[in-house]
Structure 1
Amino acid sequence: MVVTDLVFAGAENQVVTLAQSLKNRGWRVCVISLLPPEAHVQTLLKKGIPVDHLGMTRGIPDPRAIVRLWRILRAFQPDIVHSHMIHANLLTRVARLFTPMPVLLGTAHSVYEGGRARDWLYRITDRLSDLVTNVSQAGVDRYLQTGAARPGRIRFMPNGLEISAYTPNEQLRQQLRAELRSEDKFVWLAAGRLTPEKDFHTLLRAFAQLDWDSSPSGREAHLWIAGQGELRDALEAETKSLGIANRVQFLGLRKDMPALMNGMDGYVLSSRWEGMPMVLLEAATVSRPIVATRVGGVPEVIKDHETGLLVDAENPAQLADAMREVMQMSASERIKLGDRAKEVAGTQFAIENVTGKWIHLYEELWEGR
């Protein structure tokens, strides 16, 4: 597997989860990062999965990376090269001109991976890959619409989740809420990179519209934001200007997402665009209500008022109304909403089922080469 980077983020976490699942099924797997990896290395090595990188620097094209990739692939001799995210997808396509790859397929992890220039690069290199997949049907539709992929050469393949890691755990819940001084609060969780596409600005403006006692029990609403990124200082400043700094906690990069999911009372996603957000699937597995923007592959998981609540992107008023509606539900209503989302996550996105689909696709491409 070739990936743009190895960090703690949704697409990269998915690559690691899939690599481990394939290894568990007896496949020989290697993970190659274009950039020097920042995370996951020890996890993969403990599973017997070698990790290498091409020594690239973010934002700087480096033709030598093709030579480095050629050397790694020549030593590993893979039957399948599976790339993930636009930079890795494009580099492996170009490298195939010089490097034997029996089968090459790439996965796009978002509806949008850039502007017209990137769509054009996908289009002109399309024939160098055997297939491209997208993690949402919305992504497939957009790539066909823009010509970034051709009919018959792109498919929807869902993300997969290790369901057992997110089993509801009341002890874990109470421990975390005590640690974060939120024992008697109604806690909303939002997680992701603090970057423009996640639109935490809209979330903060929506949260500021909530009455502190929006729940029937009068519990004060608090917001946990897990993640790091370029906008942290600006977001923290905004909480002060909105008068909500005492009710919003910036948790930074967290590696204990199962604990955070158990600790929350509801999950909120405010993104401008998404592919198939892993964090949404994670939230669904602990039977908590979800409020999310109607973008990318989100409606493929969340059906409005069936498995969660959907709102328009960049609309603080709608987001606040939906969050308020969840808080005013009875506990049994929230559990019912969460349980239906959990059922969808367990049946459609369990990593065991998704890995089986990937293996079937790999074998199909191998036989048709």
Structure 2
Amino acid sequence: MFYEDHKNQAFYAMLNKENIRYEFLKGNLSSLLKKLKTFDSKTVVHTHGYKAGIFGRLACIVTKHRCISTYHAGEAGTGKLKIYNKLDKLLSPLSTNFAVSEQIKASLKNATLLENFIAINSSSIHFNRCDNKTLNIGFVGRLSFEKGPDIFCRLAENMQQDLDIKFHIFGDGPLKGEVPNLHNLQYHGLVERNDIWSKIDVLLICSREEGLPMALLEAISEQKFIISSAVGAIPSIIKHDETGFLMLEANAQHCQYQVEKLLLLPEEQTKNIINNAYKILEERFSGKQQFLILQKAYTGT
């Protein structure tokens, strides 16, 4: 259920393809209240996002439905977003709360850790480049300041002379119009997951702030090498030189250093690092434990 129609046609098309039902409210609290009153008392409202959390909790008090909220984002934000995030956290006592990282959990008064989870690709570990002559590096996520697409673009600009490397951006967002036109950088927009992982060898996360990005888990499942800034819950998965590379800072200079380091890494060592990350994925993010936690919350037992 969307608070309003955000005109995100590419995302709606993906939902339609997966046969996921959805509907739009009218962008106000009254339309949410009217809709919730059509559901029986056993219906549980699970909110995702600061605005959904704020209005969802307030509406559930009126309609007497149970409200569950998941806190995904680790960034504080600026301007109106900062105010919304603060209000979202202040109202957290009105719902049963989950946080996707320990860092986010610590910022709330009552929350349980519920790490993201995915269906794991069980194919054998490999690191065969999509293009034998080129290392393809991808940015996957929302094009917003905290995710650092500007850092990724600056890296691509700085490495234009390296003909063995190509950069790819997947996603949409407010900084879409700032993606430069470079011969070694391709912007793909919002595409299906399979169209991402078949085109890249390395996932580069240059976020300034982060929770636990789903793209990280998906990339590990698809046996992609991870280079990331050490933010949010990422260091709990990516250990430098063991399960990927961590950057000291989220900037183009540190990104380039790690990319150049990967180019010199022996193939066997590269495979070992990917394999180590995959083992952590199997142990913590297969969804078995997460399902039990969600089931308990939904049933109220």
Give the TM-score band, short-chain normalised.
0.7 to 0.9
Give the aligned partner of residue 112 of structure 2.
Answer: 155
Paired-residue identity, %: 20
Q: Where in structure 2 are there 5+ consecutive unaligned residues?
A: none
Change (3 A) 1:345 1:121: same
Moved more, 328-337 or 113-122: 113-122
**Counterpart in 1 of 2:168?**
224
One of 175, 178, 191 as aligned partner of 2:140 = 191
**How far apart are the structure 2 equivalents of 1:78 and 1:52?**
20
Q: Distance in 2 between matches of 1:249 and 1:283?
A: 19
Distance 1:210 1:337, change over 3 A: farther
The answer for the alignment partner of 2:100 in structure 1 is 135
Corresponding residue to 2:74 among 106, 111, 122: 111
The match for 2:4 among 28, 32, 35 is 35
Please list, as runs of the form range in 1=range in 2, the aligned pairs for 1:203-222 lying within 5 A after superposition: 203-210=152-159, 212-213=161-162, 220-222=164-166
Relative to structure 1, is the Cα distance of residues 229 and 324 closer, same or farther in structure 2, using a 3 angstrom cutoff? same
Query: Which amino acid is the alignment partner of residue 201 of structure 2?
Result: D
CA contact 2:153–2:180 (8 Å) conserved in 1? no
Deviation at residue 140 of structure 1 after TM alignment = 1.1
Equivalent AA in structure 2 for residue 328 of structure 1: L
- For normalisation by structure 1, the TM-score amounts to 0.71
Q: Greater shift after overlay, 107-116 or 343-352? A: 107-116
Deviations 1:204-224 (A, max 9, x none): 2233444855xxxxx711111
8 Å contact kept, 1:137–1:156: yes
Whether 2:18 is the aligned partner of 1:53: answer no
Counterpart CA distance in 2 for 1:87 and 1:229 is 17
Deviation at 1:183, TM superposition (A): 5.2
Contact 2:75 2:146 survives alignment (8 Å): no
Aligned partners of 2:90 and 2:143: how far apart in 1?
32
Match of 2:178 among 210, 214, 234: 234
Q: Is the 8 A contact 2:208 2:229 kept in 1?
A: yes
Distance verdict in 2 for CA 1:64–1:211, change over 3 Å: closer
CA 1:36–1:211: 2 relative to 1, 3 Å: closer
Structure 1 residues 271 and 42, CA gap change in structure 2 (3 angstroms): same
2:160, 2:183 within 8 Å by CA — same for their partners in 1? no
Q: Which has the higher helix share?
A: 1
1:354 positional shift:
2.3
On the 8 A contact 1:134/1:157 being kept in 2, the answer is: yes
1:84 is aligned to 2:48: yes
Distance 2:208 2:288 in 1: 30
Q: Conserved in 2, the CA contact under 8 Å of 1:210 and 1:324?
A: no
Q: Which deviations, in whole Å up to 9, do the C-alpha atoms of 1:89-145 show, x marking residues without a partner?
A: 1111111231021x322111111254553354235423322x21111111112x1xx
Task: Indicate the residue corresponding to 2:190 in structure 1.
Answer: 253
Distance verdict in 2 for CA 1:201–1:95, change over 3 Å? same
Secondary structure at the counterpart of residue 223 of structure 1: strand
Q: Secondary structure at the match of 2:26?
A: coil
* TM-score normalised to structure 2 length: 0.86
Distance across 2 between alignment mates of 1:76 and 1:328: 60
Counterpart of 1:328 in structure 2 is 264
Residue 293 of structure 2 aligns to a residue in which SS?
helix
Whole-angstrom CA distance in 2 between matches of 1:109 and 1:293: 17
Tell me the residue number matched to 1:315. Answer: 251
Q: CA, structure 1 residues 52+270, in 2 after alignment: closer, same or farther (shift >3 Å)?
A: same
| Cα deviations by residue, 1:257-312 (Å, 9 ceiling, x for unpaired) | 23432432211111111111000111111222110011111112211111111113
**Equivalent residues of 1:168, 1:286 under 8 A apart:** no
The residue type paired with residue 254 of structure 1 is V
Partner of residue 97, structure 1: 61
Contact 1:190 1:268 survives alignment (8 Å):
yes
Of 281, 291, 302, the residue aligned with 2:238 is 302
CA drift of 1:335 comes to 1.2
Alpha-carbon distance in 2 for matches of 1:185, 1:305: 22
Q: Contact 1:266–1:290 at 8 Å: present in 2 too?
A: yes
Residue ranges of structure 1 left out of the alignment (5+ in a row): 1-31, 57-61, 144-148, 214-218, 238-244
Rounded Cα–Cα distance in structure 2 between residues aligned with 1:228 and 1:265? 21
Count of aligned pairs between the two proteins: 292
Cα RMSD after superposing both structures = 2.6
Shift of 1:339: 1.2
SS of 1:233's equivalent in the other structure is helix
1:345–1:258 CA distance, 2 compared to 1 (3 A): farther
Structure 1 residues 323-349: Cα deviation after superposition (integer angstroms, max 9, x where no partner): 111111112111111111111112211
Amino acid at match of 1:334: T
